[in-house]
Amino acid sequence: MLGGRLSTFPRWLCSAGTCLDRARTLASVSGSGASQQKQENAISQPLERVSEISLDPSILPLRVPLDAAKGSFTEEQYAASLVHGRSIHHPFFHPRTHNVPVASIHFRSHSPRQLEFFTHFATHAACALGIPVSRPVMLPTKRTLWTVLRSPFAHKKSQENFERRVHKRGIKAWDADPEVVARWVAYLRQHAMGGVGMRITRWERMPLGIGSSHAAGLAAGFGKSPSASERSQRIKTLGEEIVKAETEATEGSVRVSS
Q: What angle do CA 70, 71, 76 make, to 5 degrees?
A: 150
> What is the pTM (predicted TM-score) of this model?
0.61
Pairwise CA distance, residues 170 & 127, whole Å:
16
SS3 per-residue string spanning 60-71: CCECCCCCCCCC
Pairwise CA distance, residues 117 & 217, whole Å:
50
The pLDDT value recorded for residue 38 is: 55
The pLDDT value recorded for residue 193 is: 93
Complete domains list, the chain, with CATH: 2-88 (no CATH), 101-202 (3.30.70.600)
Contact 127, 171 (CB under 8 A): no
The secondary structure of residue 133, as a DSSP letter, is B
Q: What angle do CA 69, 133, 96 make, to 5 degrees?
A: 80
The pLDDT value recorded for residue 213 is: 83
Distances (CA, A) of 158 to 6, 119, 148, 162, 207: 47, 41, 9, 14, 65
Mean pLDDT per 10-residue run, the chain (258 residues)? 37 42 45 52 53 63 68 74 80 90 96 95 93 95 92 78 95 94 96 94 87 79 71 89 89 71
Pairwise CA distance, residues 204 & 103, whole Å:
9
The pLDDT value recorded for residue 62 is: 76
The pLDDT value recorded for residue 148 is: 87
The pLDDT value recorded for residue 15 is: 42
Q: What angle do CA 164, 168, 174 make, to 5 degrees?
A: 165
The secondary structure of residue 205, as a DSSP letter, is -
Name the residue among 60, 179, 190 with its Cα closest to residue 130.
179
Name the residue among 131, 250, 241, 122 with its Cα closest to residue 193.
122
